[in-house]
A and B are shown apart, each in its own frame.
Chain A
Amino acid sequence: MARITDIQYITMATGTSTVDMGTLQDDAIEEGDGCSNIGRMIFSGRGAGGNSTAPTELRVISIQSTNDADSGMDLDTGRMGAGAASGNSS
Protein backbone atom coordinates (compact mmCIF):
# COMPACT_ATOMS: atom_id res chain seq x y z
CA MET A 1 0.00 0.00 0.00
CA ALA A 2 2.41 2.65 -1.20
CA ARG A 3 1.54 6.29 -1.47
CA ILE A 4 2.91 7.74 -4.69
CA THR A 5 4.31 11.18 -5.46
CA ASP A 6 3.59 11.42 -9.19
CA ILE A 7 1.90 14.43 -10.75
CA GLN A 8 0.54 13.82 -14.24
CA TYR A 9 -1.69 15.80 -16.56
CA ILE A 10 -3.94 14.93 -19.44
CA THR A 11 -5.23 17.19 -22.17
CA MET A 12 -8.93 17.51 -21.44
CA ALA A 13 -10.00 17.82 -25.08
CA THR A 14 -8.62 14.39 -25.92
CA GLY A 15 -8.34 12.56 -22.63
CA THR A 16 -5.59 10.38 -24.03
CA SER A 17 -2.29 12.07 -23.27
CA THR A 18 -0.49 11.43 -20.03
CA VAL A 19 2.35 13.80 -19.40
CA ASP A 20 4.68 13.83 -16.40
CA MET A 21 4.52 17.13 -14.50
CA GLY A 22 6.93 16.14 -11.74
CA THR A 23 6.56 14.82 -8.23
CA LEU A 24 4.98 16.01 -5.02
CA GLN A 25 7.90 17.67 -3.26
CA ASP A 26 6.95 17.59 0.36
CA ASP A 27 4.98 14.41 0.94
CA ALA A 28 2.92 11.97 -1.05
CA ILE A 29 -0.83 12.47 -0.62
CA GLU A 30 -3.63 9.94 -0.91
CA GLU A 31 -7.34 9.88 -0.11
CA GLY A 32 -7.69 13.50 -1.14
CA ASP A 33 -9.47 15.70 -3.63
CA GLY A 34 -8.75 18.98 -5.37
CA CYS A 35 -10.54 22.13 -6.43
CA SER A 36 -9.40 24.78 -8.90
CA ASN A 37 -9.81 28.27 -10.07
CA ILE A 38 -7.72 29.67 -12.93
CA GLY A 39 -4.28 28.19 -12.70
CA ARG A 40 -4.29 26.84 -9.13
CA MET A 41 -5.38 23.45 -7.84
CA ILE A 42 -5.69 23.26 -4.06
CA PHE A 43 -5.89 19.81 -2.56
CA SER A 44 -6.05 18.00 0.73
CA GLY A 45 -5.51 14.40 1.77
CA ARG A 46 -3.51 12.20 4.06
CA GLY A 47 0.24 11.90 4.03
CA ALA A 48 2.97 10.34 6.11
CA GLY A 49 0.80 10.24 9.21
CA GLY A 50 -1.24 7.54 7.52
CA ASN A 51 -4.55 6.49 8.93
CA SER A 52 -3.80 7.87 12.37
CA THR A 53 -3.38 11.53 11.41
CA ALA A 54 -6.03 13.76 9.85
CA PRO A 55 -3.98 16.58 8.30
CA THR A 56 -4.94 20.23 8.07
CA GLU A 57 -2.35 21.21 5.46
CA LEU A 58 -3.55 22.27 2.04
CA ARG A 59 -1.24 21.90 -0.93
CA VAL A 60 -1.14 23.75 -4.26
CA ILE A 61 -0.17 22.88 -7.83
CA SER A 62 0.15 25.46 -10.59
CA ILE A 63 -1.80 23.65 -13.28
CA GLN A 64 0.28 24.98 -16.18
CA SER A 65 3.69 24.54 -14.56
CA THR A 66 5.57 21.70 -12.93
CA ASN A 67 5.85 22.34 -9.23
CA ASP A 68 3.83 21.88 -6.10
CA ALA A 69 4.13 23.39 -2.65
CA ASP A 70 2.49 24.00 0.66
CA SER A 71 -0.29 26.44 -0.22
CA GLY A 72 0.24 28.39 2.99
CA MET A 73 -3.37 27.69 3.89
CA ASP A 74 -4.72 25.20 6.40
CA LEU A 75 -8.04 23.64 7.10
CA ASP A 76 -9.47 24.41 10.52
CA THR A 77 -10.35 20.74 11.03
CA GLY A 78 -7.93 17.99 10.07
CA ARG A 79 -9.52 15.58 7.64
CA MET A 80 -8.91 12.95 4.98
CA GLY A 81 -11.32 11.71 2.36
CA ALA A 82 -12.99 15.11 1.99
CA GLY A 83 -14.72 16.11 -1.23
CA ALA A 84 -13.59 19.31 -2.93
CA ALA A 85 -15.27 21.68 -5.38
CA SER A 86 -15.21 25.39 -6.15
CA GLY A 87 -17.85 28.04 -6.62
CA ASN A 88 -18.70 31.69 -6.26
CA SER A 89 -17.84 33.69 -3.17
CA SER A 90 -20.72 36.16 -3.56
Chain B
Amino acid sequence: MANEVKKVNTIAIADIKNINAITDADLKKLNTLEFTGTVLNAWQGSRGLFAGGRAVFTRLATNEYINIASTSGTSDASGDLDYARSTPTGVSNKARIVWGPGYTDGSVVTQMDYQNPANTTACQDFGDISVAIQSSGGAATNATSGNWNGGRFAGGDSWSNNIEAITIASTSNATDIGSAHETSAEGAGLSNATYGIRAAGYIGEGVVRQNFDKWTIAGPTGSATGVDTGDLNATTYWLCGSEDDSRGVLAGGNDNS
Protein backbone atom coordinates (compact mmCIF):
# COMPACT_ATOMS: atom_id res chain seq x y z
CA MET B 1 0.00 0.00 0.00
CA ALA B 2 1.47 3.33 -0.95
CA ASN B 3 0.32 6.87 -0.89
CA GLU B 4 -0.22 7.85 -4.54
CA VAL B 5 -1.22 11.41 -3.72
CA LYS B 6 1.80 13.71 -3.45
CA LYS B 7 0.33 17.18 -3.88
CA VAL B 8 -3.03 18.91 -4.18
CA ASN B 9 -2.94 22.14 -6.15
CA THR B 10 0.85 22.36 -5.65
CA ILE B 11 0.55 21.95 -1.87
CA ALA B 12 2.55 19.01 -0.52
CA ILE B 13 0.21 16.45 0.94
CA ALA B 14 2.00 16.57 4.28
CA ASP B 15 1.02 20.21 4.63
CA ILE B 16 -2.70 19.56 4.13
CA LYS B 17 -4.59 18.80 7.32
CA ASN B 18 -8.13 18.49 5.94
CA ILE B 19 -9.80 18.16 2.56
CA ASN B 20 -13.37 19.40 2.71
CA ALA B 21 -13.24 18.92 6.48
CA ILE B 22 -12.21 15.28 6.16
CA THR B 23 -8.94 14.45 7.93
CA ASP B 24 -6.31 12.19 6.42
CA ALA B 25 -7.34 9.45 8.85
CA ASP B 26 -10.72 9.22 7.10
CA LEU B 27 -9.77 9.96 3.51
CA LYS B 28 -9.10 6.80 1.47
CA LYS B 29 -8.93 7.98 -2.13
CA LEU B 30 -8.68 11.21 -4.05
CA ASN B 31 -9.83 11.06 -7.69
CA THR B 32 -9.23 7.27 -7.62
CA LEU B 33 -5.70 7.68 -6.27
CA GLU B 34 -4.98 5.76 -3.12
CA PHE B 35 -4.42 7.94 -0.07
CA THR B 36 -2.82 6.28 2.94
CA GLY B 37 -2.40 9.47 4.89
CA THR B 38 0.60 11.07 6.46
CA VAL B 39 2.38 9.48 9.39
CA LEU B 40 3.71 11.36 12.38
CA ASN B 41 6.83 9.84 13.87
CA ALA B 42 6.39 8.65 17.45
CA TRP B 43 9.15 10.99 18.67
CA GLN B 44 7.80 14.16 17.06
CA GLY B 45 5.06 16.55 18.05
CA SER B 46 3.65 19.92 17.17
CA ARG B 47 5.95 21.92 19.44
CA GLY B 48 9.57 22.58 18.46
CA LEU B 49 12.12 23.34 21.15
CA PHE B 50 15.51 24.99 20.82
CA ALA B 51 17.86 24.41 23.75
CA GLY B 52 20.98 26.17 24.90
CA GLY B 53 23.60 27.13 22.36
CA ARG B 54 25.64 30.27 22.59
CA ALA B 55 25.06 33.98 22.17
CA VAL B 56 28.40 34.67 20.50
CA PHE B 57 30.72 33.46 23.29
CA THR B 58 28.37 33.07 26.25
CA ARG B 59 26.77 29.66 26.59
CA LEU B 60 23.04 29.73 27.21
CA ALA B 61 20.86 27.81 29.66
CA THR B 62 17.61 29.12 28.26
CA ASN B 63 15.29 27.04 26.09
CA GLU B 64 12.53 28.31 23.81
CA TYR B 65 9.61 26.75 21.95
CA ILE B 66 7.59 27.43 18.83
CA ASN B 67 4.54 25.89 17.19
CA ILE B 68 6.09 24.16 14.17
CA ALA B 69 3.02 24.82 12.02
CA SER B 70 3.08 28.58 12.69
CA THR B 71 4.16 31.05 10.04
CA SER B 72 4.77 34.09 12.24
CA GLY B 73 5.56 35.19 15.75
CA THR B 74 8.31 34.88 18.31
CA SER B 75 9.20 31.90 20.45
CA ASP B 76 8.12 31.55 24.05
CA ALA B 77 10.26 30.59 27.01
CA SER B 78 10.43 26.91 27.83
CA GLY B 79 12.03 25.28 30.86
CA ASP B 80 15.71 26.14 31.22
CA LEU B 81 18.62 23.74 31.14
CA ASP B 82 20.15 22.78 34.47
CA TYR B 83 23.56 23.82 33.07
CA ALA B 84 24.25 26.14 30.15
CA ARG B 85 25.79 24.38 27.15
CA SER B 86 26.17 24.51 23.40
CA THR B 87 25.28 21.69 20.94
CA PRO B 88 22.98 19.72 23.27
CA THR B 89 21.47 17.37 20.67
CA GLY B 90 18.10 16.05 21.84
CA VAL B 91 16.02 12.87 21.76
CA SER B 92 12.28 12.76 22.41
CA ASN B 93 9.31 10.51 23.07
CA LYS B 94 6.91 13.44 22.58
CA ALA B 95 6.21 13.76 26.32
CA ARG B 96 9.87 14.03 27.34
CA ILE B 97 12.88 15.52 25.61
CA VAL B 98 16.35 14.55 26.84
CA TRP B 99 19.13 16.97 25.97
CA GLY B 100 22.58 15.51 25.53
CA PRO B 101 26.00 16.66 26.71
CA GLY B 102 27.64 19.85 25.58
CA TYR B 103 30.30 22.46 26.11
CA THR B 104 30.11 25.38 28.46
CA ASP B 105 32.68 28.08 29.09
CA GLY B 106 35.89 26.16 29.68
CA SER B 107 34.46 22.75 30.51
CA VAL B 108 32.36 19.83 29.31
CA VAL B 109 28.84 19.28 30.59
CA THR B 110 28.39 15.50 30.85
CA GLN B 111 24.98 15.84 32.47
CA MET B 112 21.94 15.14 30.32
CA ASP B 113 18.82 17.18 31.13
CA TYR B 114 15.18 16.30 30.57
CA GLN B 115 11.98 18.28 30.31
CA ASN B 116 8.33 18.00 29.40
CA PRO B 117 7.94 20.02 26.18
CA ALA B 118 4.33 20.84 27.02
CA ASN B 119 5.14 23.03 30.01
CA THR B 120 7.70 25.56 31.20
CA THR B 121 9.06 23.60 34.15
CA ALA B 122 12.85 23.76 34.35
CA CYS B 123 14.89 20.83 33.08
CA GLN B 124 16.01 18.22 35.55
CA ASP B 125 19.08 16.01 35.80
CA PHE B 126 18.59 12.85 33.71
CA GLY B 127 22.02 11.32 34.35
CA ASP B 128 25.48 11.50 32.81
CA ILE B 129 26.84 10.43 29.46
CA SER B 130 29.45 7.67 30.03
CA VAL B 131 32.36 9.59 28.49
CA ALA B 132 33.12 13.31 28.67
CA ILE B 133 32.18 14.54 25.20
CA GLN B 134 31.52 18.20 24.50
CA SER B 135 29.50 17.54 21.33
CA SER B 136 28.07 14.41 19.73
CA GLY B 137 28.17 13.24 16.14
CA GLY B 138 24.38 13.13 16.13
CA ALA B 139 21.46 11.86 18.17
CA ALA B 140 18.73 9.41 17.16
CA THR B 141 15.63 7.97 18.77
CA ASN B 142 12.74 5.57 18.21
CA ALA B 143 10.74 7.22 21.03
CA THR B 144 11.71 4.46 23.49
CA SER B 145 15.50 4.63 23.35
CA GLY B 146 17.79 7.55 22.70
CA ASN B 147 21.27 7.13 21.23
CA TRP B 148 24.20 9.49 20.74
CA ASN B 149 26.76 8.60 18.07
CA GLY B 150 30.42 9.56 18.50
CA GLY B 151 31.49 12.89 19.91
CA ARG B 152 34.38 15.20 20.61
CA PHE B 153 36.19 14.44 23.85
CA ALA B 154 36.94 17.08 26.46
CA GLY B 155 39.95 19.07 25.35
CA GLY B 156 38.67 19.16 21.81
CA ASP B 157 41.32 17.27 19.85
CA SER B 158 40.24 13.63 20.10
CA TRP B 159 37.02 11.90 19.12
CA SER B 160 34.78 9.09 20.36
CA ASN B 161 33.19 6.25 18.42
CA ASN B 162 30.84 5.27 21.25
CA ILE B 163 27.15 4.72 20.70
CA GLU B 164 25.62 5.85 23.99
CA ALA B 165 22.14 4.71 24.98
CA ILE B 166 19.38 5.67 27.37
CA THR B 167 15.76 4.72 27.93
CA ILE B 168 13.98 8.03 27.55
CA ALA B 169 11.30 7.28 30.12
CA SER B 170 13.80 6.30 32.85
CA THR B 171 16.39 8.62 34.34
CA SER B 172 19.83 7.03 34.47
CA ASN B 173 23.37 7.42 33.24
CA ALA B 174 23.95 6.52 29.59
CA THR B 175 25.55 3.20 28.61
CA ASP B 176 28.09 2.63 25.86
CA ILE B 177 26.40 -0.11 23.78
CA GLY B 178 28.73 -0.35 20.81
CA SER B 179 30.85 1.35 18.23
CA ALA B 180 30.09 3.70 15.41
CA HIS B 181 31.67 2.88 12.07
CA GLU B 182 34.21 5.60 12.83
CA THR B 183 34.76 8.56 15.09
CA SER B 184 32.92 11.77 14.32
CA ALA B 185 31.44 14.84 15.99
CA GLU B 186 29.26 17.75 14.96
CA GLY B 187 27.43 15.93 12.19
CA ALA B 188 23.65 15.56 12.09
CA GLY B 189 21.53 12.81 13.60
CA LEU B 190 18.48 11.34 11.85
CA SER B 191 15.97 8.78 13.09
CA ASN B 192 13.36 6.38 11.90
CA ALA B 193 11.53 3.73 13.93
CA THR B 194 14.43 1.31 13.49
CA TYR B 195 17.62 3.09 12.50
CA GLY B 196 19.72 6.02 13.52
CA ILE B 197 21.91 7.75 10.97
CA ARG B 198 24.86 10.02 11.72
CA ALA B 199 25.50 12.19 8.68
CA ALA B 200 28.98 13.60 8.06
CA GLY B 201 30.85 15.44 10.85
CA TYR B 202 34.23 16.69 11.97
CA ILE B 203 37.36 15.04 13.36
CA GLY B 204 39.93 17.79 13.37
CA GLU B 205 41.25 20.58 11.24
CA GLY B 206 41.24 19.48 7.62
CA VAL B 207 39.46 16.19 8.25
CA VAL B 208 35.72 16.32 7.68
CA ARG B 209 33.44 13.32 7.26
CA GLN B 210 31.19 12.79 4.25
CA ASN B 211 29.61 9.44 5.02
CA PHE B 212 26.49 8.11 6.71
CA ASP B 213 26.91 5.88 9.73
CA LYS B 214 23.77 3.79 10.21
CA TRP B 215 22.96 1.66 13.25
CA THR B 216 19.96 -0.04 14.80
CA ILE B 217 18.70 2.09 17.68
CA ALA B 218 18.85 0.20 20.97
CA GLY B 219 18.44 0.73 24.68
CA PRO B 220 21.04 0.47 27.46
CA THR B 221 20.89 -3.34 27.58
CA GLY B 222 21.19 -3.72 23.81
CA SER B 223 24.07 -3.43 21.42
CA ALA B 224 24.75 -1.40 18.31
CA THR B 225 27.29 -1.32 15.50
CA GLY B 226 27.54 1.46 12.98
CA VAL B 227 27.81 0.65 9.28
CA ASP B 228 28.97 2.97 6.50
CA THR B 229 26.02 3.08 4.09
CA GLY B 230 26.90 5.88 1.70
CA ASP B 231 27.97 9.47 1.32
CA LEU B 232 26.52 12.95 1.48
CA ASN B 233 27.29 15.05 -1.60
CA ALA B 234 30.23 16.75 0.11
CA THR B 235 32.33 16.65 3.26
CA THR B 236 30.36 18.67 5.77
CA TYR B 237 30.07 19.40 9.48
CA TRP B 238 27.85 21.64 11.60
CA LEU B 239 24.89 20.81 9.33
CA CYS B 240 21.20 20.88 10.26
CA GLY B 241 19.15 17.70 10.07
CA SER B 242 15.69 16.35 10.78
CA GLU B 243 13.26 13.90 9.23
CA ASP B 244 9.70 12.81 8.53
CA ASP B 245 8.62 9.19 8.25
CA SER B 246 10.42 8.65 4.94
CA ARG B 247 13.04 11.36 4.35
CA GLY B 248 15.96 12.68 6.31
CA VAL B 249 16.81 16.23 5.29
CA LEU B 250 20.28 17.73 5.69
CA ALA B 251 20.82 21.42 5.15
CA GLY B 252 23.74 23.80 5.21
CA GLY B 253 26.87 23.25 7.25
CA ASN B 254 30.51 23.97 6.61
CA ASP B 255 32.84 22.16 4.20
CA ASN B 256 36.06 23.31 5.95
CA SER B 257 37.46 24.57 2.63
Q: B5-37: contact bitstring with A at CB < 8 Å (1 yes, 0 no)?
A: 010000011110000000000000000000000
> Which residues of A have CB within 8 Å of B12?
39, 62, 64-65
* Interchain pairs with CB closer than 8 A, number: 303
> Which residues of B have CB within 8 Å of A7?
249-252
Q: List 13 A-B contacts (CB under 8 A).
A: A2-B256, A3-B252, A4-B252, A10-B212, A11-B247, A12-B195, A31-B254, A54-B53, A62-B14, A80-B53, A82-B88, A83-B51, A87-B94
Q: A38-B39, A40-B68 are in contact. List 19 more A-B contacts (CB 8 A).
A: A4-B234, A6-B236, A10-B248, A18-B230, A33-B50, A36-B44, A38-B15, A64-B6, A68-B251, A79-B55, A81-B52, A82-B52, A82-B60, A83-B50, A83-B53, A83-B88, A85-B91, A87-B93, A88-B94
How far, in angstroms, from A42 to B44 measured CA to CA in the complex?
12
What number of A residues sit within 8 Å (CB to CB) of B? 70
> Which residues of B have CB within 8 Å of A52?
56
> Which residues of B have CB within 8 Å of A24?
251-252
**A72 in complex: contacting residue of B71, B94, B238, CB < 8 Å:** B71
Closest 9 CB pairs of A and B: A39-B14, A87-B117, A82-B53, A85-B90, A34-B242, A79-B53, A81-B86, A29-B252, A16-B230
Closest to B89 in A: A83
**B64 in complex: contacting residue of A76, A86, A88, CB < 8 Å:** A76
Q: A59-81: contact bitstring with B at CB < 8 Å (1 yes, 0 no)?
A: 00111110010011111111111
How far, in angstroms, from A79 to B257 measured CA to CA in the complex?
24
> Which residues of A have CB within 8 Å of B15?
38-40, 62
> Which residues of B have CB within 8 Å of A48?
none
Closest to A39 in B: B14
Q: B40-58: contact bitstring with A at CB < 8 Å (1 yes, 0 no)?
A: 1101111111111111100
> Which residues of B have CB within 8 Å of A53?
56
Whether the pair B55, A37 counts as a contact (CB closer than 8 A) is no
**A74 in complex: contacting residue of B75, B87, B191, B242, CB < 8 Å:** B75
> Which residues of B have CB within 8 Å of A79?
50, 52-55, 60
Whether the pair A77, B95 counts as a contact (CB closer than 8 A) is no
Give the distance to chain A from B92, nearest Cβ to Cβ, in Å.
5
